[in-house]
Amino acid sequence: MSVDKSLKRKGRLSRSRNVLKRDERIEVMQGNDKWIAGQSPFGLAKTRVVKLVVGKKKKEKKEEEKDDKKKKKK
């Protein structure tokens, strides 16, 4: 099955996935200290998918401009 053109972006999906693969879930659980060595990889607990937020740089620039304007007024 192929992926629709609207979902492709430089060879990978542009949207964040809601479901992780089994090995990705195990990695997340190891990072949270919820994985026990020797545990069966089947029937894993649900894991939260962290979504990245893009666009905070613009806010920082605006705050810097406001600070510069306040300094100029004084």
In a domain, 56, yes or no: yes
In a domain, 50, yes or no: yes
Residue 62: per-residue pLDDT? 66
- Domain coverage including residue 22: 17-73
pLDDT tier, 72 (very low <50, low <70, confident <90, very high otherwise)? low
Q: Is the pTM of this model over 0.85?
A: no
Q: Is the pLDDT of residue 39 over 70?
A: yes
With CA atoms as reference, report the closest residue to 48 among 18, 26, 21.
18
Per residue, what are the HEC states of the chain? CCCCHHHEECCEECCCCCCCCHHHHHHHHHHCCCCCCCCCCCCCCCCCCCCCCCCHHHHHHHHHHHHHHHHHHC
In a domain, 65, yes or no: yes
Residue with structure tokens 């609207």? 6
In a domain, 3, yes or no: no
In a domain, 53, yes or no: yes
Tell me the per-residue pLDDT of 19-34, one tens digit each, with 9 for 90 and over.
Answer: 888 998 999 999 988 8
Total domain count, the chain:
1
